[in-house]
Amino acid sequence: MEFRRIQKDWRQYAKTDVLSGFVVFLIALPLCVGISVASGAPPTAGLLAGIIGGVIASMFGGSYVTINGPAAGLIVIIIDSIDGLGQGDGMLGFKRTLAAMIFVGVFQFFTGVFRKGFLGKIFPSSVVHGMMASIGLIIISKQLFVLIGANPISKAPWELYLEFPSRIVDLNPEIFLIGLVALAILLFFQFVKLPYLSKIPAPLLAVIAGIMLVEYFNINVSSKYNLFGKEYTADSHYLVQIPSSMKEAIIFPDFSMVGTLVFWFHTLMIFFIASLESLLSASAVDKIDPLRRSTDMDQELIGKGLANALLGFIGGIPIIAEIVRSKANIENGAKSVWSNFFHGSFLLLFLLLFPELLKLIPMSSLAAILILIGFRLAAPKEFIHRYKTGKEQLIVFLTTIFFTIFIDLLVGILAGVTVKMIIQMISGVKWRDYWKLKITGDEKKGIWKISSPILFLNSFKMYDNVQKSIDAGNKFIVLDVADANYIDHTSMEIIDSIKEDAMKAGAKINFKWGNLKAISEAETAVKRNVT
């Protein structure tokens, strides 16, 4: 990030960005706490992530209006890390996860320094969306029990779904009512589209309603009540547990497992998922940036790396570029990184000045927020969209979900990628095609010809070469893919990204498709040679 530009943005946009930053702070506050608790980490770990994501990552990143912070997409990864590294001890697992985060930050930093940020674009999108849908389903499976105030026996997501119907009779009425009110508020704001309502942060309103009910039911003190002849307990166990001082909120990493394979497995998983989600979210935010600016993906990873390494040292959970909060940021007039900075600053002030309020937040209200987030990740429209891009994309998408839910996330990702490659080989793609792209051309003239299949594993060469022509100042670029024979869905998305990059640079790209035809009406559908 250019600090001269940041200074210029301060003079130009600080007054408007402080307001958007405050609105995002109101949205982020319950989400930071909820995501952290759902991840098996202390609530303050999420607040520290929001603070560092706003104050540090914004200043050293490569984006403009994205909001950095903890995200639901990382919940499953952090839970797995804490469980895998803690061996039954949650706090020890968290401390060892903090050590892993330091290395994650270092890896992200050097990935950006060596300008490899574009590699995030080449991962199969159907696998990515399948992964996110799986995470949504896993979040819902766990938070349903929190919503009703019951403790599940099962551990696996599919077992939790099977167990839930029989456990409804064990719900705690007061706790469930609080969660139900929060869910009703969130759904009201979701479906009732009125201009003045769009400015109100629904998650915060849901939490405030929950706090009011906590006070009404006296849940902040140990209390028992009877309903329909049955006795229930509603006490602080159902509320967020916050340390009494900032000193207690700071947790230091444990490096005792650095020499083990399981440590590096979880480190690489966090690095992979956090980096991929950040790059994808930053790309999505670029498309809705009112000033049509492009994120420097390499610098973005540098900023995330510095922030995540610092969070590992002080006890925070990992951050990514978060698209929902970023969208709210833009809708409230954000123009520069200062909105992100202010959002983090307001979180810090709240944690320092009003920590006691956090202790009144009911877990069931946070569960309602997370259930809705989970539903968005696994919404029916995601399944429909995959189908519209081609049946093979739907197969890859469903395969990823199936193996993630029934085994784990890593197996789901590997299964999705494997099925994608099998489908492509059935379509005529050779094993050697994945590792080599036959591309010839002239960077200065901006003329490129590709004469081999363009696939998710080799498409970065196409992106890199065309990008060099754009950076060289070419205003007219030719990309001849007539002899490619096969272009997969991920590569078509990269081509779509190339078009946008060229347009922002004032260049025009002429594509020569030859006999390549799309297998569906979707713009990024697979293209095959029909001759």
Higher-confidence position of 467 and 186: 186
470: tokens are 């754009």
In this prediction, residues 366-390 reach a mean pLDDT of 93
Q: Is 316 helix (H, G, I), strand (E, B) or coil?
A: coil
Q: Structurally, what CATH architecture does the domain formed by 432-529 represent?
A: 2-Layer Sandwich (3.30)
Q: Which of 242-251, 477-486, 493-502, 509-518 has the lowest mean pLDDT?
A: 242-251
For residue 407, how many other CB atoms are within 10 A of its CB?
A: 13
**Arithmetic mean of pLDDT over the chain:** 91
* Over residues 337-355, mean pLDDT: 93
Give the pLDDT confidence of 496-507 residue by residue, as tens digits: 888 888 888 888
* Structure tokens given for 155: 């551990």
Phi/psi region, residue 441 (left: phi>0; alpha: psi -120 to 50; beta: rest), is left
- CATH code 3.30.750.24 region(s) in the chain: 432-529
Query: Rounded distance, CA 212 to CA 197, Å?
Result: 21
Contact call for residues 344 and 54 (beta carbons, < 8 A):
yes
pLDDT at 207: 95
Q: 3-class secondary structure for 103-140?
A: HHHHHHHHHHHCCCHHHHHHCCHHHHHHHHHHHHHHHH
Cβ atoms within 10 A of the Cβ of 118, count?
16
Q: How far apart are the first and last CA of the chain?
A: 48
Residue 3 has pLDDT above 70, yes or no: no
Residue of higher predicted confidence among 374 and 292? 374
For residue 161, the tally of other CB atoms under 10 A from its CB is: 15
Question: Residues 8-19: what's their mean pLDDT?
Answer: 85
Q: Residue 266's pLDDT band (boundaries 50, 70, 90)?
A: very high
> What CA–CA distances, in Å, run from 36 to 255, 343, 377?
21, 18, 18
pLDDT confidence of residue 530: 78
| Contact partners, residue 192, CB within 8 Å, separation at least 6 | none
pLDDT at 234 over 60: yes
Instruction: Give the pLDDT score at 452.
Output: 94
- 12-16, 162-166, 182-186: which has the minimum mean pLDDT? 12-16
Residue 246: pLDDT above 90? no
- Rounded to whole angstroms, how far apart are CA atoms 238 and 250? 23
- pLDDT at residue 450 tops 90: yes
Q: What is the pLDDT of residue 4?
A: 67
Q: Any idea what DSSP says for residue 94?
A: H
Per-residue pLDDT of 293-308, as tens digits, reads 888 889 999 999 999 9
For 157-178, what is each residue's pLDDT tens digit? 999 999 999 999 999 999 999 9
> Which pTM was predicted?
0.90
Secondary structure class of 240 (helix, strand, coil)? coil
